[in-house]
């Protein structure tokens, strides 16, 4: 037995005078059956003659752990579970970091947008400044004393909006001077001051600029408006008698309508409030009238604060996506089947408000904007009985329902004009580019409902030609007439590629990536850093040790046992140091050292044994098998780094 031991470990007696009977190395101590570890002889040639097998055991079960097949399977399952948990943590971390990055970019873009918008703002006082001079000229010309009070001159407004507001304001001031404020004689008879008063007040309410232009004059004479509408043949006498005050107010904005039968420099020419409304609609604004008889009239203008960015409600009708101005929508609901009344030509909603009930006509957006173009896929027609999302939109003084297939939610989007591509009707403001790059028409629901009502109930409109769309938005056009819209240059598109990891990051192993602090990514990837192989069956220790080494500017490759370590050494030719445990499944540290000794390409690579076994026998066997350094757990981080540094000769 002694001769066998000496031939297996030929150590000079003067160096280690150990009796042969003290550490007999058994045949079962390093069992490496080829059936369990089918390593090709050409890959790891191990001459059996150099390892004669002793007859007695060197370590008992307390001195060296051995693993059964069940333990190996459990160890593998546990390690896979840990790696899955770490991968899940890494994905969650990446998602959180991506969300934070996108949120930071969103705030930065919003801040940049606000700064750019502020540079376009001018005070309304610049627009109001010429109005007192105009009023003085009217006073001198018509011998009527009228004062002008202006508030809100400091209110800031977009320069483009301000320039387009001057003409409507001038119309309203001249209209108040002529139609609103009475002559001095009439004012005296009514107990008013001879000097009339015109007030202009500007302020912000929410995201809208509100400008009120009022006077203390005679107010609206609704009977006179009714008679004038009959005289202008806008309505019949029977229809005029049924008109309510709100409907009579709307007649003031009809083209060519004027309560003055005589033409002068101020009125009677049919140019006035219709121009005001048209100019405000061009600014995506609105105008309404309030009046009290003998108390005065007030015109209220509402203009969006920002004409380029608006809050839009995205919806789908048929197979196309549309964006509707959110402020035009009063309510969104999914009606119950019993609330709907359907017949062949339409559908209504039974809408209860308190104790009252009204029938609200429902129009399908898909049907209103029905295109007859052959290259556009025809959407599937929904059943009349099918319940769809419904948007309630106020059109003048009544509610109308707009039915769509699906709602996607609201977003703040940039609205770009269609320019010269097509001539859009007044209810289409332009287009917007969605997050997926798709173009969507931006529609004012209130204007669309008004257009629909006028189209359906007008008795003078001619029958549309066959296969023509039901509204001007859907005029028949050819493919050649629709060039590609230019890309919106002021919309920042966060491409998905910007969120993908770089080529350098994709090279990280999952273990290294999850354990690596972000600050050290560029450090350990340097070309001059040394590569170290960590071999341990504990994934937690591997991760901790990998983090320590990577902070010290070393590259790290990991293996869970000696068998996998041999594979890594064959794959990674630039590994310059191995840190290895002893007790591992499949192939322990001693068996790994045996293989390493017999491979000429691996024998010169230093091996540091890092184990929880501190016994002298373990140290001696490791040294005999070629271990360079022997360290025990728990280890001191600085001591380990110093050993590694010395081995690299740094």
* Per-residue model confidence as pLDDT tens digits over 391-448: 999 877 788 899 999 999 888 888 887 766 567 777 887 888 888 888 899 988 888 8
Higher pLDDT, 57 or 621: 621
Alpha helices for 504-538 (secondary structure H): 510-515, 521-524
Kindly provide the b/e burial profile for residues 44-69, where b requires at least 16 CB atoms within 10 angstroms of the residue's own CB. Answer: beeeeeebeebeeebbeeeebbebee
Q: How far apart are CA 407 and CA 445, in angstroms?
A: 14
* Residue showing tokens 């709307």: 250
Q: Look at residue 274 in the predicted model and tell me its pLDDT.
A: 85
pLDDT exceeds cutoff 50 at 488? no
> The whole model's pTM is what?
0.49
Q: How far apart are CA 12 and CA 15, in angstroms?
A: 5
- The sign of the dihedral angle between the CA atoms of 618, 622, 628, 632 is negative
Question: What whole-number percentage of the chain has pLDDT above 90?
Answer: 22
Residue 589 contacts residue 583 (beta carbons within 8 Å): yes
- The sign of the dihedral angle between the CA atoms of 578, 648, 629, 541 is negative
Termini Cα distance of the chain: 45
Residue 560 contacts residue 588 (beta carbons within 8 Å): no
Q: Look at residue 385 in the predicted model and tell me its pLDDT.
A: 59
Q: Report domain extents, the chain.
A: 122-221+259-304, 310-374+386-459+466-474, 503-647
| Coil, helix or strand at residue 249 | helix
* Per-residue model confidence as pLDDT tens digits over 297-354: 999 999 887 777 788 999 999 888 999 988 888 889 988 888 888 877 678 888 887 7
Please, which residues bridge with residue 207 across strands?
none
* Per-residue model confidence as pLDDT tens digits over 138-157: 998 888 899 999 999 999 98
Provide mean pLDDT across the span 536-549: 89
Residue 590 contacts residue 621 (beta carbons within 8 Å): yes
pLDDT exceeds cutoff 70 at 271? no
Q: Which CATH superfamily is domain 310-374+386-459+466-474 in?
A: CheA-289, Domain 4 (2.40.50.180)
| Coil, helix or strand at residue 84 | helix
Please, which residues bridge with residue 416 across strands?
431
CATH class of residue range 503-647:
alpha beta
Nearest CA to 551 out of 633, 648, 646, 637 is that of 637
Quickly state the pLDDT bin for 479 (edges 50, 70, 90).
Answer: very low
Please, which residues bridge with residue 342 across strands?
347
CATH class of residue range 122-221+259-304:
alpha beta
pLDDT exceeds cutoff 60 at 120? yes
Q: Look at residue 461 in the predicted model and tell me its pLDDT.
A: 40
Q: Look at residue 644 in the predicted model and tell me its pLDDT.
A: 92
Quickly state the pLDDT bin for 267 (edges 50, 70, 90).
Answer: low
Other CB atoms within 10 A of residue 142 CB: 15
As a dihedral over the C-alpha atoms of residue 611, residue 612, residue 614, residue 619, rounded to 10 degrees, the angle is -20
Nearest CA to 302 out of 275, 325, 277 is that of 277
pLDDT exceeds cutoff 90 at 20? no
* Residue showing tokens 């420099």: 265
Residue 385 contacts residue 367 (beta carbons within 8 Å): no
Q: How far apart are CA 398 and CA 349, in angstroms?
A: 13
Mean of per-residue pLDDT scores for the chain: 76
């Amino acid at each position: 037995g002694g001769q066998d031991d000496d031939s297996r470990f030929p150590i000079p007696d003067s160096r280690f005078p150990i009796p042969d009977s003290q550490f007999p190395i058994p045949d079962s101590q390093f069992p490496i059956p080829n059936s369990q570890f089918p390593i090709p002889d050409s890959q790891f040639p191990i001459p059996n003659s150099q390892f004669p097998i002793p007859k007695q055991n060197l370590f008992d079960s307390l001195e060296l752990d051995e693993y059964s097949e069940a333990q190996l399977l459990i160890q593998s399952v546990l390690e896979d579970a840990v790696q899955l948990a770490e991968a899940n943590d890494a994905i969650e971390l990446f998602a959180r970091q991506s969300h934070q990055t996108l949120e930071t970019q969103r705030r930065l873009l919003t801040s940049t947008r606000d700064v750019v918008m502020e540079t376009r703002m001018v005070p309304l006082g610049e627009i109001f400044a010429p109005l007192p001079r105009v009023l003085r000229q009217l006073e001198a010309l018509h011998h009527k004393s009228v004062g002008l009070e202006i508030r809100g001159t400091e209110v800031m407004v977009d320069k483009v909006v301000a320039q387009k507001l001057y003409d409507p304001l001038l119309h309203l001031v001249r209209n108040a001077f002529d139609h609103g404020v009475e002559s001095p004689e009439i004012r005296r008879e009514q107990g008013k001051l001879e000097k009339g008063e015109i007030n202009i007040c500007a302020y912000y309410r929410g995201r809208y600029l509100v400008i009120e232009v009022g006077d203390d004059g005679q107010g609206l004479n609704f009977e006179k408006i009714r008679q004038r509408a009959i005289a202008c043949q806008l309505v019949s006498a029977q229809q005029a008698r049924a008109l309510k005050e709100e409907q009579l107010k709307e007649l003031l904005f009809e083209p060519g309508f004027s309560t003055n039968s005589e033409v002068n420099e101020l009125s009677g020419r049919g140019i006035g409030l219709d121009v005001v409304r048209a100019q405000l609609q061009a600014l995506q604004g609105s105008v309404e009238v309030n009046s009290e008889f003998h108390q005065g009239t007030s015109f209220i203008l509402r203009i969006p604060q920002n004409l380029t960015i608006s809050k839009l409600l995205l919806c789908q009708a048929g197979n196309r996506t549309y964006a509707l101005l959110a402020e035009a929508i009063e309510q969104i609901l999914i009606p119950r089947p019993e609330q709907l009344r359907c017949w062949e030509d339409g559908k209504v909603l039974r809408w209860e408000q308190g104790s009252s009930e009204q029938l609200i006509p429902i129009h399908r957006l898909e049907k209103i904007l029905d295109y007859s173009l052959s290259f556009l896929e025809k959407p599937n027609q929904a059943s009349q009985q099918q319940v769809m999302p419904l948007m309630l939109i106020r059109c003048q003084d009544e509610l109308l329902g707009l039915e769509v297939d699906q709602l996607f939610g609201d977003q703040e989007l940039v609205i770009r004009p269609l320019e010269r591509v097509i001539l859009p009707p007044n209810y289409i403001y332009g287009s917007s580019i969605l997050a997926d790059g798709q173009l969507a028409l931006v529609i004012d629901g209130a204007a669309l409902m008004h257009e629909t009502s006028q189209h359906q109930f007008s008795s003078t409109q001619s029958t549309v030609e066959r296969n023509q769309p039901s509204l001007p938005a859907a005029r028949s056009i050819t493919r050649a007439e629709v060039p590609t819209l230019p890309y919106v240059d002021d919309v920042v598109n966060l491409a998905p590629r910007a969120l993908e990891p770089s080529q350098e990051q994709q090279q990280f192993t999952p273990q290294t990536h999850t354990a690596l602090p972000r600050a050290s990514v560029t450090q350990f990837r340097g070309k001059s850093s040394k590569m170290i192989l960590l071999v341990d069956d504990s994934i937690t220790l591997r991760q901790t040790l990998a983090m320590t080494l990577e902070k010290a500017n070393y590259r790290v490759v990991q293996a869970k046992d000696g068998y996998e370590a041999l594979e890594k050494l064959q794959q990674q030719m630039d590994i310059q140091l191995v840190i290895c445990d002893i007790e591992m499944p499949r192939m322990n540290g001693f068996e790994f050292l045996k293989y390493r000794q017999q491979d000429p390409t691996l024998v010169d690579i230093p091996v540091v044994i890092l184990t929880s076994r501190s016994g002298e026998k373990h140290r001696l066997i490791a040294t005999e098998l070629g271990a360079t350094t022997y360290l025990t757990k728990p280890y001191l981080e600085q001591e380990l780094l110093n050993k590694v540094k010395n081995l690299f000769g740094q």
